[in-house]
Structure 1
Amino acid sequence: MARITIFPLPGAVLYPGLQLPLHIFEPRYRAMVSDALARDRRIGMIQPQRPVEGAPLFSVGCLGRIGDVEALEDGRFNIVLTGESRFRLLRELDVTTPFRQIEAELLPERDNEVLAPIERASFEREAKRFADAQGYAVDWDQVGRLDDQSLINGVSQIAPFDAAAKQALLEAETLPARCELLVQLMQFFGRHSDDDDEGVTLQ
């Protein structure tokens, strides 16, 4: 078990091995970064179930280590978190700090997972359709050079899906399962991208 300082940010998901740039401006989160820098440089990214103060948290997040850090004169920070390990929330702790802390179980990662060739081909085909429909410019030659984990986790982290969809991707237990869900989400959101202004959610 681990005691983790958390940054509950809706829509922000981090994966092991990937990076997440963050601009820290609220006083409590400036205190959080200062505290982390004085200790082990680690912060847990986890989504709240609702975008309101003190909302319950989803059950799975990712522990990140602060790498690059820029301390601005007015107390704000620009930092880059590198994902280290997913974690499962066990309980939230009663603390006096302005930032929230939890007790969590670190989840083992399957570092050598790969996709079957047909899974990779299916994903790339759907990703091209989705990117074209959304008007995204993508360097597909560079995409083709990425290993399976970097590709699937990278797209899962930056995909323009709602919080529930992003959370489902993070909680997928295997890379093939995450890939399959990602294809389904691209198909679902792609079909509904022209719906009303409220957008489409899976909640």
Structure 2
Amino acid sequence: MTHNTDLPDVVPIFPLPGALLLPRARLPLHLFEPRYLAMLDDALKTPQRLIGMIQPNKVPGRSGSGLHTIGCVGRVTQFSETEGGRYMITLAGVSRFRLIEEVEGFTPYRRARVSWAGFERDQGPEEGDTAFDRGAFLQTLSQYFDSQDLQTDWDSLKEADDELLINSLSMLLGFEPEDKQALLEAPCLSTRRETLMTLIEFAMRGGDGEGMLQ
């Protein structure tokens, strides 16, 4: 496991709207732009193989970089080349970070100086959620899936640990980027679960989710 003291002060960053990576979760990505292929190549040359996922910030005046201030770094654990020199990779979430400033340089991709302070829990053991009413949650989730005409493997959902269930749904469900950011910034698993439930219930009431949790 990568620990806080092993994490670098500067990381390559991949701004991607709606893409959510959480600690101890896995995010598949398809890389094809030359700058991100260069980013992958450089990351693979380092011992930690880290790439920082961060969302663009659509709200004027909040961030001079045009990015949200909190993202999550992941370690490249799998990669394979596809046709045309494209790559499919998997990032394993390591820790969230706070963006301090962008770093100028000669790379075609963006890099940022970051702080890991306040996110020490991200590199610890899996979180539990003692207040989690799994039965009620799955019932609401079933209603949501019906309303969105979605299918899933319910046996796997029922058997998944609390963190895997909540984080996987947070990453996979089609919420607005600002709402994904709220899920990322949730300080603990129970807060993320409450935020997730709010988003699900809002969607079932017919809300479009635009800017809901800014």
TM-score (norm 2): 0.84
- Tell me what 2:138 maps to: 124
Q: More displaced, 110-119 or 143-152?
A: 110-119
Q: Classify the secondary structure of the residue corresponding to 1:58.
A: coil
Q: Is the contact between residue 189 and residue 200 of structure 1 (CA under 8 Å) also seen in structure 2?
A: yes
Aligned to 2:58: 50
Matched, 1:78 2:85: no
- Matches of 2:31 and 2:11, distance apart in 1: 18
AA at the equivalent of 2:20: V
Structure 1: runs of 5+ lacking an equivalent: 194-198
Aligned positions of 1:79-98 closer than 5 A:
79-98=89-108
Distance 1:164 1:63 in 2: 18
Report deviation, 1:73: 6.0
For the residues of structure 2 that align with 1:12 and 1:102, how far apart are their CA atoms?
18
**Offset of 1:41 from its aligned partner?**
1.4
2:202 to 180, 188, 201: 188
1:201 aligns with 2:210: yes
CA distance in 2, matches of 1:50, 1:28: 22
Contact 2:199 2:209 in 1 (8 A): no
Map of 1:154-169 to 2, 5 A cutoff?
Answer: 154-169=168-183
Shift of 1:120: 3.0
Q: 1:16 aligned to 2:30?
A: no
Q: Which amino acid in 2 is paired with 1:172? A: A
Distance 1:73 1:118, change over 3 A: closer
Aligned residue number for residue 196 of structure 1: none
**2-side partners of 1:120 and 1:165: how far apart?**
22
**8 A Cα contact 1:156 1:166, kept in partner:** yes
**How do 1:98-177 residues align onto structure 2 when only pairs under 5 Å count?**
98-106=108-116, 107-108=119-120, 109=122, 111-116=125-130, 118-177=132-191
Question: What is the aligned residue count?
Answer: 196
RMSD: 2.1
